[in-house]
Amino acid sequence: MKRTHPYLNKNNLEHEIEEGNTVSLARAITLCESSKISDRKSANELLYKLLPHTGRSLRIGITGSPGVGKSTFIESFGKYLTSLGKKIAVLAIDPSSEKTKGSILGDKTRMEELAKDPNAFIRPTASSQALGGVANATREAILLCEAAGFDIVLVETVGVGQSETAVRNMVDFFLLLQLAGAGDELQGIKKGIMEMADGIVITKADGDNAKRSKQAQAAYQHALHLFQASESGWQPKVLTTSAIEKKGIEEIWKMIEGYHLFANKNNFLSKNRGQQNLQWFRESLDRQIREKIFQSKRLAAKIRTYEKKVMDEKVVPSKAAEEVVRILREF
């Protein structure tokens, strides 16, 4: 007896996601992550059907260096949001091994209490060498979570410093977590990512670290005033929190709510999402064109020839690319 592929019954999957079935939601995200052409076609058809039910959530990106306490913060923040009656989805991106391409995917273990909450959904995903601290299908996963009725989608990046920029083009609010007392605070994360942040939170502001956290808060707030005004017109704030003592969580949510109201009022939110969709289109176009090129054995062979020439320093890389483009015109 022929077994039916679990993802092929797209009609059932569509309705189950609309009803908030998290098992079906997880299956749909896995479908979007697949590299198989047939699965990707099915995923795009599913997303097209669900598109009218998307766009209603508040999308929040959360980044910070390793050890800053992202998972601990997200668990406390998530539990606070569910206590307000919010349904939240957490898309936690774990770094993939350069050698094995594997990933630990331990976020459900690190967020044990939140994982048990009926109003929360946690989905760990391997970055699979995608750049910018996110996974290849993070945007699709956001839409699926919205279609499933989640009010807030939190995207936790892998946390490797300055490369955490791609998530900024996927979310409404970009939250940067920083740890005080780890050296020169303003050197902890450089200007580039600070300029992208809509809010900065100093974590672990308790015990002996409470005083240092206040000092770091003042230093960051001063630094932010030296930056150019953001495109949204919003003035980023710097707050402190202790996830263990449950301090500062309410204030952080009020800051994010304040931003959401501000960005809605001046129409920046819808404009920004339109620009994000345009960027998604362009990135998808680039990826699919590259894939299409390498599907041709003749073209792939030509490209490999130029790759060897580049590696052997027999041709300048830019000139090699120009030659490949010329060859493309002949096909």
Residue 134 has pLDDT above 50, yes or no: no
Sign of CA dihedral 278, 193, 134, 14: negative
Q: Which helix (H) or strand (E) holds 16?
A: helix 10-18
- Higher-confidence residue of 139 and 228: namely 139
- The label of the residue with tokens 């599907």 reads 295
Angle between helices 268-295 and 249-265 in degrees, nearest 10 = 90
3-state secondary structure 213-234: HHHHHHHHHHHHHCCCCCCCCC
pLDDT for 132 equals 39
pLDDT for 181 equals 65
Q: Is the pTM of this model over 0.75?
A: yes
Q: What backbone phi and psi angles, to 5 degrees, belong to 236?
A: -60, 145
What does the DSSP assignment read for 293-330? HHHSHHHHHHHHHHHHHHHTTSS-HHHHHHHHHHHHHH
- Domains of the chain plus CATH, in order, are 1-53 (1.20.5.170), 55-266 (3.40.50.300), 277-330 (no CATH)
Please check whether residue 172 is in contact with residue 142, taking contact to mean a CB–CB distance below 8 angstroms: no
Structure confidence by residue, pLDDT tens digits, 43-80: 999 999 999 999 999 999 998 888 888 999 999 999 99
pLDDT-derived band of residue 9, with 50, 70 and 90 as boundaries? low
- The label of the residue with tokens 């976020």 reads 107
Residue 163 has pLDDT above 50, yes or no: no
pLDDT for 292 equals 83
Identify which of 53, 73, 80, 74 has the alpha carbon closest to the alpha carbon of residue 150. Answer: 53
- The label of the residue with tokens 């990135």 reads 283
Q: Give CA torsion, residues 178, 182, 184, 189, to 10 deg.
A: -40
pLDDT for 213 equals 93
pLDDT-derived band of residue 329, with 50, 70 and 90 as boundaries? confident
- Higher-confidence residue of 88 and 111: namely 88
Which percentage of the chain shows pLDDT scores above 90? Answer: 55
| Radius of gyration in angstroms for the set of CA atoms belonging to the chain, rounded to a whole number | 22
Instruction: Give the pair of three-digit tokens for residue 62.
Output: 């959360």
